[in-house]
């Protein structure tokens, strides 16, 4: 039996690290969901690149309100994660 893993990444202005992180996920056959907390750098351009398109499951925009909101992150993650759970996938959450 094969297991499918989907990573959920909450990001904000991660252009310096994001491409390498996503390449690692792709090389390991891991799909990913992005929760973008209002990035003002090129993070969106990075995760929307063609090289990552096959593994990008969903993008949730969550505007940055001046502070990190853990409760809002969990609410958003659950909404995106529910789709993965229904398909029998496991969920891996990566945080930095």
What's the pLDDT score for residue 62? 81
Architecture of domain 5-94: 3-Layer(aba) Sandwich (3.40)
pTM: 0.71
84: phi then psi, degrees, rounded to nearest 5: -65, -40
Burial 15-48 (b: 16+ CB within 10 A, else e): eeebbebbeebbeeebbbbbbbbebeeebbebbe
Question: So where are the chain's domains?
Answer: 5-94
What's the pLDDT score for residue 86? 43
In this predicted structure, the answer to whether residue 23 has a pLDDT above a threshold of 60 is: yes
Residue-wise pLDDT for 77-87, tens only, equals 555 554 544 44
In this predicted structure, the answer to whether residue 43 has a pLDDT above a threshold of 70 is: yes
Nearest to 54 by CA among 35, 36, 31: 31
């Amino acid at each position: 039996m094969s297991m499918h893993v989907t990573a959920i990444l909450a990001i904000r202005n991660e252009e310096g690290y994001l491409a390498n992180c996503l390449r690692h996920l792709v090389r390991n056959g891991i799909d990913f969901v992005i929760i973008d907390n209002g990035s003002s750098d090129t993070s969106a351009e990075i995760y929307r690149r063609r090289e990552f398109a096959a593994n990008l499951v969903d993008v949730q925009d969550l505007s940055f309100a001046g502070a990190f909101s853990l409760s809002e992150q969990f609410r958003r993650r659950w909404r995106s994660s529910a789709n993965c759970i229904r398909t029998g996938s496991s969920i891996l959450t990566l945080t930095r």
